Amino acid sequence: MSDDRWNTVLVLGGIRSGKSAFAEALVADAPSVRYVATAVGGEGDPEWLARIEAHQRRRPQSWSTEETGADPARLAALLTEAKPDDTLLVDDLGGWVTALLDPARQPNDDEADVAALASAVRGCTARVVLVSPEVGLTLVPTTPIGRAFADALGTTNQALAEACDRVALVVAGRPVWLKDSAGDPVPGVGGAALAAPSTGVTALGDISEKSDLSATGAAAELAAPETTLAEPRLVAPAAGGETLTAGAPAVLNEPTQQLPVVGVGTPIEPGMDLPLPDADAGPDARDRLVNVDFAGTGLGSLVEAVEFAAATQGTTIPRPWSSVRVLLVSGRHDGGAAAGDDPADAERRVAEVEHGEGVLSRLAGQAGADVAVLRVARSGAIEDGPVTDEAAVDVALGQGWRLAEAAADAGRDLLVLASIGVGTDAVAAALSAAITGAEPVELLPRVLRAGGRFDDEAWMRRCAAVRDALHRIRQAPRGAKDLLRELGGTDFAVAVGALLGASSRRLPVLLDGPVGIAAGLVARDLGSQARHWCLLPDAGHLAIVAKGADVLGLNPVLDLGLGLGEGANALASLPLLRTAIGLAAATPVHPALLAEPGDGGATDLIVPNDEDVDFAEPEPDGPGPATTEE
C-alpha cells in the first residue's frame, strides 16, 4: 500500500460532474501514468469524438495510453500484469460495461467477468484510479438495453467499491469521500474534511472558491503545535483593495471537504523524487524570440520569465498566468531575532490582508489573485535551543504541502509566497548562513523602523542572536529537518512544504524575499528539483536574497529594487511578467523571414541557422486512442 494508505480508488460521478478531472488530479504527481481507455466505436459521431479529443488534450505527454476495446477481459489482465511502481488510470467503466454487454459476446456470464475484475483490482500491486459513471440516480430506463446497462453498471460499481481502498463521489465538481482507506464509510461525509492519515496533519477546509465570492475561515493561533496547525483564511481582494468576502452569504463561508490527491501523504524526506520542468521547451521558447517581429532587440531580461513559463508549462509558446494564489505565512520568533520588530504592527498588517486592505491586498486584487493567510505557532529563540520539535516540523511541512495542493486543485497556475512576521529576517539569515557558509553579518538586512529610520542597535542584537545560534549548532547535524527544528520553526517549515508541494503538482512559484529564499535553500536539500519551479522577479537590494538566489541558480528577472514587503514585490512585478509572456505568444515571425519562392504565391519559412528553431505552436498533448467522456 502507498505511503498515503491507498492503492486503489473508485471515482463515481454523473455526466459532466468533473469525475475525470478529479481522477486525473489524483495521479498528477506520478512520474508516468498508463491511461487505460475503454471506449469503443464513435467513429461516425463528431460530438463524441470531440469529447474524446478534449480528454486527450488534458493528458500530459509523459502518459501512455492503452485501449481495452471490445475485450473486457483485457482490463483485468492489465491490472494483473501491473507492477508495484506503476500508476494506472482507467476511464471509464461505462465503456467497459458497454463492451461487456455486446450482443456478439452473448450468451456470457457477465457477473463472472465483474467478479474477475474486482478480484484483479483487489490483488493489484500498482496504484489504480478507476472512473465510473453513476447512473442509478435517474429514472429507470424505458428500454431493455438501457435497463440492462444500468443494472450491470450498478453491479460493477458495487463490486469495485467493495474492492477499492477508497471511494469518492463527484457532484458538480465537488468530491465527497464515501469510503476511507480502512474500508469504512467516512464519518461526517458532506461536512468534515478527510485528513491524509499518514501525515498527521489536521485536514484543511477547502480553500477553493464556492463562486466568484471566496470562502473565509477562522484564522486561529496554533493551540497544539505538536499535532495541528491553524486553518488558513482565504480572501479575494478586489482591484480597488476591498475584500469580496464582505457581506457574502453564510453558506459561502462554511468549510467544505478538502480534495486529497496523490502526494499528500508522501513522506517529506531528503532525496524526494519530484518532477522537473520541460528541459527543451524553455530554451526553444528563447530561441523562437530571436525571429519574432519586435521593432528592437526584444524583451531584454524579461526573456527569463518567458523561458521559465515555457519550461514549467511544457510548451514553446506559454500563456500568461491567469489564476494566481498568494500564500501568506505569518510566524513569530522569540529572542534576539525579533529585536526591532513590533509584534502589534505585524499583526496589524496581517489583519489588513484578512480584510482585503493594505499594499499586499491591493496588489493581489489588481492581479486577480486570492490570498490564503496562515498564522502558525510561535517559535522559540534561536540562540537558546531548538525552536520547535521534530513532530511540529513534520506537521508544518505537511501543512505547507497541502496548501500548495489546494491551490493546484483550485485551478491556480501560479503561487506567490509571502511572509509577514516577527524575527523572520534574522531566522532567514541564520538558515542561509548555515546552508551556504556565508557570513551572517553580510546576509542580515538592516532593521528599518517606521519613518525610514534604521535601528542599528536592534541589528546588532539580531547579529548576536544569529551568531550564538550558529555556534550552538556548530557540531549538530545540518540536515534540512534538523535546521528547521533548530532554527527555522513552523513558519519556515510551512514555506518549505509549500515549495515541495507546488513542485509535485508542477505549480510555478514566485519568490522575492528572505523567507522564500531561505525556504528554497532548505527545500533544495529535500528535493533538489524544487528550485527549478521557482522564479525570482526582483531581488531588491537585500544581500540575503541575491546571495541565496545565486546558490539556488535563480537569476532575478528585473532590477527594480523594490521594498514593498515579501510577496508584494512579486505582485508588483507580475503585470510586466504577464505582458512579456503574452507578447511572446502573440507576436508573429518577422515578415522579412518569410520569402516568396516564385510566382506560385506560396511562402517558405526561412530558418537562418539550423533546424532547431520551431515557430509553430506545438500541440500540448498529441492525439491518442479513444476514451470515454463524462
pLDDT per residue over 396-450, tens digit each? Answer: 999 999 999 999 999 999 999 999 999 999 999 999 999 999 999 999 999 988 8
* Total Cβ atoms within 10 A of residue 454: 12
Q: What is the pLDDT of residue 228?
A: 45
What long-range pairs does 50-55 form, CB within 8 A, spacing at least 24? 51/629, 52/626, 52/627, 52/628, 52/629, 53/623, 54/629, 55/20, 55/91, 55/627, 55/629
Determine contact, residues 46/168, Cβ cutoff 8 Å: no
Q: What is the pLDDT of residue 55?
A: 64
Query: Is the pLDDT confidence value at 597 over 70?
Result: no
Q: Three-state SS for 238? A: coil
Determine contact, residues 484/496, Cβ cutoff 8 Å: yes
Between 258 and 565, the higher pLDDT residue: 565
- Per cent of the chain over pLDDT 70 is 78
pLDDT (mean) for 182-190: 42
Tell me: the pLDDT tens digits for 601-613?
Answer: 444 444 444 444 4
DSSP β-bridge partners for residue 123 = none
Query: Is the pLDDT confidence value at 588 over 60?
Result: yes
Longest dimension (CA), the chain: 89
Q: What is the pLDDT of residue 263?
A: 42
Tell me: the pLDDT tens digits for 553-563?
Answer: 999 999 999 99
Residue 157 is placed in which grid cell? Answer: 460499481
Distance CA 180, CA 49 (A): 35
- Bond prior to 456 in cis (omega within 30° of 0): no
Q: What is the pLDDT of residue 609?
A: 45
What mean pLDDT, rounded, does the chain reach? 80
pLDDT (mean) for 326-355: 93
Q: What is the pLDDT of residue 444?
A: 93
Determine contact, residues 523/483, Cβ cutoff 8 Å: no
Distance CA 448, CA 451 (A): 8
* Total Cβ atoms within 10 A of residue 334: 18
DSSP state string for 164-229: SSEEEEEETTEEEEEE-TTSSPPTTTTTS----TTT-PPPPPP-S-SSSSPP----PPPS-TTT--
Q: What is the pLDDT of residue 586?
A: 87
Query: Is the pLDDT confidence value at 4 over 60?
Result: no
Nearest residue to 223 (alpha-carbon basis) of 462, 463, 75, 395: 395
Query: Is the pLDDT confidence value at 489 over 70?
Result: yes
Between 497 and 94, the higher pLDDT residue: 497
Q: What is the pLDDT of residue 101?
A: 84
Determine contact, residues 96/120, Cβ cutoff 8 Å: no
Q: What is the pLDDT of residue 277?
A: 94
Q: What is the pLDDT of residue 626?
A: 43
218 confidence band (pLDDT: 50, 70, 90): very low
Which residues are designated catalytic?
A: 566
Tell me: the pLDDT tens digits for 116-134?
Answer: 999 999 999 899 999 999 9
Query: Is the pLDDT confidence value at 215 over 70?
Result: no
- Of the listed ranges 29-43, 47-61, 391-405, 612-626, the one predicted with least confidence: 612-626
Distance CA 553, CA 535 (A): 10
Q: What is the pLDDT of residue 43?
A: 61
Q: Which residue has the cell 539569515?
A: 429
Q: What is the pLDDT of residue 191?
A: 30
Distance CA 98, CA 40 (A): 8
Between 608 and 581, the higher pLDDT residue: 581
Distances (CA, A) of 537 to 329, 368, 513, 561: 19, 18, 10, 11
pTM of the model: 0.58
Tell me: the pLDDT tens digits for 277-330?
Answer: 999 999 999 998 988 888 888 899 999 999 999 999 999 999 999 999 999 999
Between 621 and 576, the higher pLDDT residue: 576
Distance CA 168, CA 395 (A): 25
Distances (CA, A) of 311 to 305, 306, 530, 553: 10, 9, 14, 15
Helix, strand counts (H, E) of the chain: 19, 15
Q: What is the pLDDT of residue 328?
A: 95
Nearest residue to 318 (alpha-carbon basis) of 56, 139, 41, 578: 578
Q: Which residues contact 303 (CB under 8 A, 6 or more apart)?
A: 286, 289, 580
Query: Is the pLDDT confidence value at 594 over 50?
Result: yes
508 confidence band (pLDDT: 50, 70, 90): very high
The H or E element containing residue 448 is none
Query: Is the pLDDT confidence value at 211 over 70?
Result: no
Q: What is the pLDDT of residue 629?
A: 43
Query: Is the pLDDT confidence value at 619 over 50?
Result: no
Between 606 and 359, the higher pLDDT residue: 359
- Of the listed ranges 117-131, 202-216, 491-505, the one predicted with least confidence: 202-216
Tell me: the pLDDT tens digits for 50-101?
Answer: 766 766 666 677 788 888 877 888 899 999 999 888 899 998 888 888 888 8
Query: Is the pLDDT confidence value at 21 over 60?
Result: yes
239 confidence band (pLDDT: 50, 70, 90): low
